[in-house]
Structure 1
Amino acid sequence: MATRGVFQLTKLRLHYCEVGGSSRAMRTYLGNGKLVSWATAHPHVEIEVQVRNGHHPFVLAEYRSMAATHQISVRNVDRWQDVQDVLYLLSNRSGRKITKITTPVLTDTPSIQGVWTPFLTLKDLPPFAVQIHEP
């Protein structure tokens, strides 16, 4: 996701096992060339693939904002499309933690304009003239 035109996702690390059954979908995704097409569509993201034999697969994302990282496990995922969905989910995040706003915003100082009321009459104000200057 872009914040002020800058994409927040900087790096994706894909960890998987070469022989484990839980990494089957990740191996299929890497083998059929879909990662290459995803990488060409997202040139701003650095992609690193690491083999970790004996461990379950996961995807680790690094973001610009506050050096945040998010990790999503893709253990025992049935289809390679689910791995691609995880990549799109991580690329569309901003990297910030999700915070819930539970209370309304209160202020000690009232508005400079004053409180609006439907009974406000503008016809009591003096008329003003509009001048258009041509170059």
Structure 2
Amino acid sequence: MSNKHLFLPSGFIRTPLQNGLGRYIPQLQRITLKFCKNHGGSRGVRDFIETDLMEFAKTNPGTVVYLKPRRHRYPCMVAEYLNGEREYLSCHEFSRAEIQKWLSYMCTRSGIPVMRFRKYNHTDYPSIQGVWNPFTHQAPEINVAQFPHEILSKPVDNGPTATDQLIEIFKKTQIKDPVKPEH
């Protein structure tokens, strides 16, 4: 078993700016592709630039892409995120497909450094009742039941559906407020 996790910083799960409530904001601000025009280790980066870079730029309009040719150096990617974090990735002898996968990975990341979690659940207001999960209030017979089960597999009839209730409310408002004709 590896012990690499011991050297990672530890912390809790954090979400940037409640991202996803309302609309999603991509966290990748800019990506810099550094490569050599002649070196063989940069072939995958050059192939990506020639064939797929324009498509990447069209699908990610919020990300600025910089190309930086350097002589006799290994290729690399530098990603900069909205929270100020920078991620460096050496792309020596990567194929075009690997470059695409790593760019996709960097575009979907939040920029928060990789860390080991102290707890899987964290809240500022802990509950004295314990952690809720979807199986908290389930019947214990489900644990040993053989499915399909005659009683447990019956559909539950809880009265009218939400759609039926909306139709009834709409019909009631139509009767109370008739449309006034315009003069």
- TM-score normalised over the length of structure 2: 0.54
Instruction: Quote the residue 1:36 is aligned against.
Output: 54
**Residue of 61, 65, 71 corresponding to 1:53:** 71
Please, which runs of 5 or more residues in structure 2 have no aligned partner? 1-15, 131-136, 138-172, 174-183
How does 1:1-135 map onto structure 2 within 5 Å?
3-4=19-20, 5-32=24-51, 34-65=52-83, 67-77=84-94, 79-103=95-119, 111=127, 115=129
Q: Which has the higher helix share?
A: 2
SS in 1 for 2:46: helix
How far apart are residue 71 of structure 1 and its match? 1.1
How far apart are residue 39 of structure 1 and its match? 0.6
The one-letter code sitting in structure 2 at the alignment partner of 1:70 is: E
Taking a change above 3 Å as real, the CA distance of residues 105 and 38 of structure 1, as seen in their structure-2 partners, is closer
The one-letter code sitting in structure 2 at the alignment partner of 1:13 is: T
Please, which runs of 5 or more residues in structure 1 have no aligned partner? 119-133
Equivalent residue pairs, number: 112
Task: Using the aligned pairs only, state the percent identity.
Answer: 23
Taking a change above 3 Å as real, the CA distance of residues 106 and 95 of structure 1, as seen in their structure-2 partners, is closer
Q: Which has the higher strand share?
A: 1
- TM-score normalised over the length of structure 1: 0.71
Choose between structure 1 and 2 for higher RCO, CA contacts under 8 A separated by at least 6 residues. 1
Q: Deviations over 1:21-40 (max 9, x none)?
A: 110111111122x1100110
CA distance in 1, matches of 2:110, 2:60: 15
The one-letter code sitting in structure 2 at the alignment partner of 1:43 is: P
RMSD: 2.8
CA distance in 2, matches of 1:46, 1:84: 16
